Amino acid sequence: MNPGTSLSSTTPNARTIQILEEMCKYYDQMQDQWRTLAYRKGITTLRKQPVKITTKEEAAALPFIGTRLAEKIEEIVLTDRLRKLDNTRGDPADKVLRLFLSIYGVGLSQANKWIQAGYFTLDDLAAKAKLTDNQKVGIAHYDDFAARIPRAEVEAHGAFVKDYLKKIDPGFEVTIMGSYRRGAKDSGDVDLIISKPGTSMSTMRAIVFGQLVSGLFAADFLKVSLATSHRLNDGSKWHGASCLPHSNTWRRLDLLLVPEEEMGAALLYFTGNDIFNRSMRLLASKKGMRLNQRGLYKDVIRSRNRERITEGTLVESRSEKRIFEILGVPWRAPAERIC
Ligand code: DCP
Ligand code: MG
Ligand code: MN
* Contact present, 81 and 62 (Cβ < 8 Å): no
ipTM of the complex: 0.99
For ligand 1, what atom is nearest to the CA of residue 186?
26
* Contact present, 167 and 211 (Cβ < 8 Å): no
Report the predicted TM-score, pTM, of the whole model to 2 decimal places. 0.85
Phi, psi of 186 (to 5 degrees): -150, 160
pLDDT of residue 233: 79
In angstroms, what is the span from residue 200 Cα to ligand 3's centroid?
24
- 191 Cβ below 6 A of ligand 1: yes
Q: What is the pLDDT of residues 307-333, one digit of tens each?
A: 777 878 999 999 999 999 999 999 999
Q: What is the pLDDT of residues 31-90, one digit of tens each?
A: 898 999 999 999 999 999 999 999 999 999 999 999 999 999 999 999 999 999 998 888
CA-closest residue to ligand 1 atom 25: 188
- 272 Cβ below 6 A of ligand 1: yes
Is it the case that residue 300 has pLDDT exceeding 90? no
Q: What is the pLDDT of residues 236-262, one digit of tens each?
A: 999 999 999 999 999 999 999 999 999
For ligand 1, what atom is nearest to the CA of residue 180?
22
In angstroms, what is the span from residue 76 Cα to ligand 1's centroid?
31
**Percent of the chain predicted with pLDDT > 90:** 84
- Hey, which of 179, 254, 281 would you mutate to test ligand 1's pocket, going by the most ligand atoms within 8 Å of its Cβ? 179
Q: What is the pLDDT of residues 89-136, one digit of tens each?
A: 888 888 999 999 999 989 999 999 999 999 999 999 999 999 999 999
